[in-house]
């Protein structure tokens, strides 16, 4: 079991002010500035603390060169479930929403092609430093199958053959069928649980194999104020705690038997301001009540001054576009999907895009306040900006090594 060792804030707050933020955002920015991160949260989630563990990346950014440490690949848009809280809208009917401007990219099939898209992109990213891949969605990554029949196992075996670390964020419904060599090759596996809308799936009998000797298994549950699609009004704090507590206890018992190391409770990041802080209080109260595997994640919104995330940890989505992060779908103007207006480039032009950015690592989002008011990577972007400007260099002495350090 990991110790709850507190980690200090990463970015300087002395000159911090909340200029340009509205009242809701100031509330969250203040909470963000006060948070103390337990070591366990820094290890198992992306808080920015792992960035300092990559001196080559810091040097490259200071020389105005991209340096990719890890990348998300979201290989398909297809899912077997349709949870109402899901961060991505309209799975299984990709690109049909009328409010999306249909581009050529959005008329394609809802998966990436392994030979002509994924492999060339991975080779490009390796050239720029890539060490780790996270498969996630979008859709459910284990449903991946391209036109030539390549499936998820083929993807994992290919990445391992390239000496990459591989992780998987998934809904847990297909892990029991996964070939053992593939399952055990995963550095970490995170299963998103949602027992309220799918009680027949997410219960004590859900088949999650024990992790391999070198894998970390974790569970995740979104704490949302409308925890079932039939709720039209948000629940208040006490009823919400009451609604979740037995489910989290059940997941905790399941996790102990399955060999999970944590159950991440993440407040629903579609909700902002005081309502979001309320969800944080509920998640904290659930952690206090149940303890054991429960890990409340302190994720707050704040738009960064500039966005550099895609120069270090880009996201390749099933629509063939490359994005600066996996959370831009939280922003209202994203239409709850990986909208082309947030794209850095398309998968075919990734190498020339990165080459073209050398010497000029400009912000990947032109106006972060208007486009990304719900950014959850304020610290990551602030740190990257400090590396680029030279304000922050390679730490000396080097920080204590952290597990999963390549999953920045």
Residues that bind ligand SF4 (CB under 6 A): 304, 307, 309, 324-325, 327-328, 342, 365, 368, 372, 375, 377, 381
Q: 206 or 343: whose CB is closer to ligand SF4?
A: 343
396 Cβ contact partners less than 8 Å away, ≥ 6 residues apart: none
The minimum distance between CB 309 and ligand SF4, in angstroms, equals 4
- Do 209 and 176 touch, CB atoms closer than 8 A? yes
Q: 208 or 322: whose CB is closer to ligand SF4?
A: 322
Angle, alpha carbons 193-138-221 (nearest 5°): 20
What is the number of alpha carbons within 13 Å of residue 137 lying toward its C-beta?
Answer: 30
Cα–Cα dist 209/219, whole Å:
13
239 Cβ contact partners less than 8 Å away, ≥ 6 residues apart: none
Q: 5 or 22: whose CB is closer to ligand SF4?
A: 22
The minimum distance between CB 307 and ligand SF4, in angstroms, equals 3
The minimum distance between CB 283 and ligand SF4, in angstroms, equals 21
Beta strands in 249-376 (DSSP E): 260-267, 294-296, 315-316, 321-323, 345-346
Q: How many CB atoms lie within 10 A of CB 2?
A: 14
**β-bridge pairing 321-323 and 315-316:** antiparallel
């Amino acid at each position: 079991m990991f110790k709850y060792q507190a980690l200090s804030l990463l970015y300087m707050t002395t000159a911090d002010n909340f200029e340009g933020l509205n009242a809701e955002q100031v509330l969250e920015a203040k909470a963000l500035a006060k948070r103390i991160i337990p070591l366990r949260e820094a290890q198992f989630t992306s808080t920015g603390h792992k960035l300092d563990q990559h001196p080559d990346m810091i040097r490259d950014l200071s020389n105005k060169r991209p340096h990719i440490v890890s990348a998300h690949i979201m290989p398909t848009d297809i899912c077997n479930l349709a949870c109402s809280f899901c961060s991505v809208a309209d799975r299984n009917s990709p690109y049909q929403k009328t409010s999306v401007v249909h581009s050529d990219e959005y008329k394609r099939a809802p998966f990436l092609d392994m030979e002509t898209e994924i492999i060339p992109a991975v080779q490009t990213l390796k050239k720029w430093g890539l060490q780790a891949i996270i498969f996630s969605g979008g859709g459910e990554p284990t449903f991946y199958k391209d036109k030539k029949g390549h499936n998820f196992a083929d993807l994992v075996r290919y990445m391992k053959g390239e000496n990459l670390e591989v992780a998987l964020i998934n809904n847990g419904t297909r892990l029991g069928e996964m070939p053992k060599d593939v399952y055990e090759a995963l550095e970490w596996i995170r299963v998103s649980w949602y027992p309220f809308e799918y009680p027949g799936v997410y219960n004590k009998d859900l088949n999650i194999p024990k992790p391999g000797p070198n894998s970390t298994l974790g569970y995740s549950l979104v704490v949302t104020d409308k925890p079932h699609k039939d709720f039209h009004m948000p629940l208040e704090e006490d009823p919400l705690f009451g609604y979740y507590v037995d489910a989290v206890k059940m997941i905790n018992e399941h996790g102990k038997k399955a060999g999970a190391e944590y159950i991440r409770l993440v407040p629903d990041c579609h909700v902002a301001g005081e309502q979001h802080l309320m969800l944080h209080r509920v998640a904290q109260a659930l952690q206090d009540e149940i303890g054991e595997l429960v890990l409340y994640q302190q994720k707050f919104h704040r738009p960064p001054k500039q966005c550099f995330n895609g120069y270090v940890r880009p996201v390749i989505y099933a629509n063939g576009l490359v994005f600066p992060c996996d959370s831009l779908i939280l922003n209202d103007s994203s239409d709850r999907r990986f909208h082309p207006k947030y794209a850095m480039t398309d998968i075919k032009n990734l190498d020339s895009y990165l080459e073209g950015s050398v010497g000029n690592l400009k912000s990947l989002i032109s106006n972060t306040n208007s486009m990304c008011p719900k950014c959850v990577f304020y610290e990551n972007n602030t740190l990257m900006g400090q590396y680029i400007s030279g304000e922050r260099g390679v730490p000396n002495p080097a920080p204590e090594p952290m597990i999963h350090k390549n999953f920045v």
